[in-house]
Amino acid sequence: MTSSPIRLAINGASGRMGQALLSLLRDERRFELAHAVVSPGSAHDGEPVWLGQALRHARDWSRAPALDVVIDFSGPAGLAATLDHCLAHGIPLVTGTTGLDAQLQARLDAAGSRVALLRAANFSLGVALLTRLLREAAAALPDWDLEIVEAHHGRKQDAPSGTALALGQAAAAARDSTLEDAAVYSREGHTGARVPGSIGFAVIRGGDIVGEHQALLIGSGERLELGHRATDRAIFARGALQAAQWLVGRAAGHWRLEDVLASPR
């Protein structure tokens, strides 16, 4: 790790994740917040980032200083602009932005040859470890049935969650399959016997559940349960900061949050 603070920029600074990151950075000594971007027209444009901080929210990257790493939790358009800036200046990028179209996805795929990129559907370090454990278990127990159950607050718009799908993808790949071939997203009526090798998903929505994910590997006479329960949204911001610190100085390429666990600093 560098001896001086890491010069960090955040895109999506006024969003839920951006605000969580800013809250943590108030007490962080590893980082210096050098640039904070909000969407054009945002009510926060030009406002101080926080009380006592000279830095103000910016609408774009035109006046960004030299940076060591960028964290992006914005939207597709915001991420595209961030990617332009990172590629132009060789800056590592950590992103959890979702809803990407095929064109932006292709740009990110290609960008890995020029800068270090770390993308994740979920920045919980516990979920990263759960993914690793599930991958190993699915490969070691290829004939066991696999069900993934996830629960979130009642306001969540998508189902299954991106994290549940990522868990399913990891398990399917470990069994030399794909989620497209293995996934079963609903069961109703007379469904017939379970298809061998399928991966079932169940969804719970209600209250203020932050996020819970459980993988059930079910054999004859026994069951293995792997799970993670989030009780504080700050864990995702902490994981993103950990990823940003880890990514500084890494070679160009596509990195995973599991890589951060494999070789922590």
Angstrom distance (rounded) from CA 98 to CA 180 = 19
229-254: average pLDDT: 95
pLDDT band at 228 (very low <50, low <70, confident <90, very high): very high
Q: Indicate the pLDDT class of residue 47, thresholds 50, 70 and 90.
A: low
Q: In the chain, where does the domain assigned CATH 3.30.360.10 lie?
A: 125-230
46 pLDDT exceeds 80? no
Q: In what order do the strands lie in the sheet with 116-119?
A: 31-37, 6-11, 69-72, 93-95, 116-119, 253-255
Which of 2-6, 174-178, 248-252, 259-263 is the least confident region?
2-6
Q: Which residue do the tokens 């027209």 mark?
A: 41
Q: Is the model's pLDDT at 43 over the cut of 60?
A: no
Q: What is the pLDDT of residue 2?
A: 47
Residues above pLDDT 90, as percent of the chain:
79
What mean pLDDT do residues 39-57 have? 61
pLDDT at 11 over 50: yes
Q: Which residue has the higher pLDDT, 184 or 17?
A: 184
DSSP 11-36: ESTTSHHHHHHHHHHTT-SSEEEEEE
- The reported pLDDT for the residue numbered 227 is 98
- Cβ burial of 4 (10 Å; 0-12, 13-18, 19+) is exposed
Residue 45 has pLDDT above 60, yes or no: no
The ranges of the chain annotated as CATH 3.40.50.720 are 6-119+234-262
Percent of the chain exceeding pLDDT 70 equals 93
Predicted confidence (pLDDT) at residue 82 exceeds the cutoff of 70: yes
The pLDDT of residue 48: 57
Residue 40 pLDDT: 64
Per-residue pLDDT tens digits for 140-171: 999 999 999 999 999 998 899 989 999 999 99
**Per-residue pLDDT averaged across 24-28, rounded?**
89
Active site residue ranges: 152, 156
Give the Cα separation of 113 and 102 in Å (integer).
18
Q: Which CATH superfamily is domain 125-230 in?
A: Dihydrodipicolinate Reductase; domain 2 (3.30.360.10)
Identify the pLDDT of residue 41: 58
Q: Is the pLDDT of residue 94 over 70?
A: yes
pLDDT, position 51: 40
| Statement: residue 52 has pLDDT above 70 | no
What mean pLDDT value characterizes the chain? 91
Which pLDDT value is given to residue 1?
Answer: 43
* CATH number for the domain formed by residue range(s) 6-119+234-262: 3.40.50.720
Q: Is 99 exposed, middle or buried (0-12, 13-18, 19+ CB in 10 A)?
A: exposed
